[in-house]
Amino acid sequence: MRFLPLFLHRQSHHLHHHKPTIPKTNNTLFKMAQLPPLPEVTSLTPSITRILAGNPSKFTLQGTNTYLVGSGPNKILIDTGDGKPSWIAALKSTLSSSSATVSKCIITHWHHDHVNGIPDLLSAFPGVKIYKHRPDYHNPSNVPFLDIADGQEFDVEGGGRLRAVHTPGHTEDHMVLQYLLEGEQGGLFTGDNVLGHGTAVFEDLSSYLTSLSKMKTLVNGRAYPGHGPVIEQARERIEEYIRHRQQREDQVVQQLKAAPNVPAAAGGQVGGEKGWTLMGLVKVMYKDVPEALHIPAAGGVIQILKKLEREGRVRVREDGGGGEEEDRWVLVEQQGGTGAGRGSAL
């Protein structure tokens, strides 16, 4: 699980016009007390129980959410957390209290805070079947995953179905689960594509935006994220994510336009060579965010630049750098005849 903390998300609404309001904290990275506490075990609906993985941090919020789905004795488990002893203890206690067990486990994606609880799960419930899209992808421990096809459905004991939908972006193997249930509110298990607080990071921005648009059509009410509290108005939150990404892209373009008037120290100009370095952009876009968070923020900015490059809107000046950190980015219309550029991927 990798994401940008809540205050980076809030900042995006102010960057163009006003100085952002950053929550005060004695911890320059993050202050967990800013987040509302979540109980270790919560019955969210008659057929959904959330169990926290016991791994709170600045990157995992209150911890990874795992979910038991179904009202019958054979539950479906979504994700397994980070392998903390408290998680497996809470899982066994919750199941024991209702004389239930786990018959299937569905993994949303390969990140360690979603799969590291698998050994404990297999030890406690040897007969459980574990499903993940692309079983061999990022599977160094050779977990005996069963594959999940896009659109595959899993019957939920007690009524309803979970429909798996391939939604890459956060990771290549990422799946969300649409809970189809009559007579009771279903919802969407969003994995790490959409969170209860803040904004998620992604491996590929174009895929991520396509997945967000797809997810918007899968839910009318609640969403159950991989981190953070339940999202009551899921479609509105997904639309907010899409707007946020467009705001960031617009901001990058505006900063690239400003390159001729930016000092070299900010990454804007060296001698006669104009353009922005990656960290130069980050330092301006996230100027009111602790510098320790600039590296994770850079991951999102480079994805925006690569998307714009594929669209033929920006180029890297080959004469301006010696690697990703030193590359100098310019708008295509600004480059003119002042230097060579790396060709568009179109």
Active site residues: 113
Question: Which backbone phi and psi does 169 adopt, to 5 degrees?
Answer: 145, -65
Tell me the sheet residues that pair with 102. Answer: 75
In whole angstroms, what is the distance from residue 81 CA to residue 64 CA? 6
CB 178 within 8 A of CB 163: yes
Cβ-defined contacts of 317-321 (< 8 Å, 24+): 317/273, 317/275, 317/341, 317/342, 318/342, 319/273, 320/270, 320/273, 320/275, 321/277
Do the strands 175-180 and 187-191 form a parallel or antiparallel pair, or are they unpaired? antiparallel
CB 122 within 8 A of CB 13: no
End-to-end CA distance of the chain: 31
3-state secondary structure of 187: strand
3-state secondary structure of 52: strand
